Structure 1
Amino acid sequence: MPTTTDVTVRSVVDVPWDDVRTVFGTRGDPSTCWCQYFKLPNAAWETMTRDECAGLLQQQVRANDPAPGMIAYLEGEPVGWCAVEPKTHYERLRRAKVSTQGSSEDPDDASVWAVTCFVVRVGFRKKGVGGALLRGAVDQARELGARVIEGYPVDTAVRVKAPSAELYHGTLSLFTAAGFELVSRPSRDRAVVALTL
């Protein structure tokens, strides 16, 4: 049986695009969003097709300014994704209540990075993939000059029966286990956490 030590993480710019497609899949929220929700204004988001969203992520990967995320592998199989970039790349996040009311960081400071999304394929959950992705995201942010990395997780101790589709922000326990500190609680079940690098 695979263990958490069998999970490896690589920057999305260093993996085949077919592996990214495998992780995002063809059904469910990941297959329609491709981690574009926090980047697009609402009007553009409302009209985007899944193929257009996938194309935008592919362009962002090619631009590598910086790499927009990490891909996790378990026994060579692509199994997960974590979005991590400077917060300035996420226009909608910069205006979202969780950020405007929860973060003390300047929204225009490019040294503040954000972890916005996790995708772990069905059948590979509860195997340490999320934790490995978060460690990889922190490492990449540190290597590329981030000063602080923020997350906006769901507190599953408060929202006990949250479905997996609503946990794409990650869980508070996932972030605190990785050394992130609680900054604020902009709502009862959501937190802002930060790690100074």
Structure 2
Amino acid sequence: MSTTIAPLAPELWADFEDLFGKQGACYGCWCTHFRLAPAVRRANDKQRNKDHIKARIEAGPPPGLLAFEDGKAVGWMQIGPRADVPEWNNPGRGSAPVDPADTADASVWAISCFFIRVKARGRGISHRLVEGGIEFARQNGARLVEACP
């Protein structure tokens, strides 16, 4: 099966929404966990999270990549400058930067989330997303891409 990778631009919202499903993946997170302060996360519900990520996608630049097989979104990887996912930078997290200046450096990027459709797991989708993400980061001025399990 052929996999294509595309930056998540506003015109792909319906594909992203289909991939995440009615619940918004991961109990309504909509890939906002590292974007929102803990107090905001606690106050939010899945609809507010969905609205937040939709507004972020519409504002651009693309906050990540979608993987497609046969025209259907099967995977998502959040990737972009560290500043775009501020909670990923918190001291004490395994994802905290070694150099605190990296949190404001637009050329230091982070891979901070994956979501793969259940039926597409085990086929290397995340590997293809990482490969596409490295190229996407290079094309957009990244000098460094970091990731953390």
TM-score strictly above 0.5: yes
Among 25, 38, 42, the alignment partner of 1:42 is 38
Q: Which residue of 2 aligns with 1:60?
A: 56
1:59 CA drift (Å): 0.9
Among 111, 129, 132, the alignment partner of 1:115 is 111
| Matched AA of 2:105 | D
TM-score of the aligned structures, taking structure 1 as reference length = 0.69
Higher RCO (CA-CA < 8 Å; seq separation 6+): 2
Q: How many residues end up aligned between the 2 structures?
A: 147
Q: 1:68 to 1:91 in 2, by over 3 A?
A: same
Q: Which residue of 1 aligns with 2:20?
A: 24
Instruction: Confirm or deny that 1:89 pairs with 2:81.
Output: no
CA contact (8 A) 1:68 1:83 kept: yes
Q: 1:78 to 1:31 in 2, by over 3 A?
A: farther
Cα deviation 1:134-175 (Å, max 9, x = unaligned):
11211111111111010002xxxxxxxxxxxxxxxxxxxxxx
4+ residue segments displaced more than 4 Å: none
Q: 1:58 to 1:138 in 2, by over 3 A?
A: same
- Which secondary structure does the structure 2 equivalent of 1:8 belong to? strand
In 2, distance between residues paired with 1:14 and 1:138? 21
Q: Percent identity at matched positions?
A: 30
- Which secondary structure does the structure 2 equivalent of 1:126 belong to? coil
Cα deviation 1:59-117 (Å, max 9, x = unaligned):
111111x21010111121111100001001111111142133x6346222121000000
TM-score of the aligned structures, taking structure 2 as reference length = 0.90
Unaligned runs of 5+ in 1: 154-197
Cα deviation 1:120-145 (Å, max 9, x = unaligned):
00111011211111112111111111
Among 56, 59, 67, the alignment partner of 1:72 is 67
Q: Which residue of 1 aligns with 2:132?
A: 136
CA contact (8 A) 2:24 2:30 kept: no
Unaligned runs of 5+ in 2: none
| Matched AA of 1:143 | Q
Q: Which residue of 2 aligns with 1:188?
A: none
- Structure having the larger proportion of residues in helix: 2
Give RMSD over aligned pairs: 1.7
Instruction: Confirm or deny that 1:103 pairs with 2:98.
Output: yes
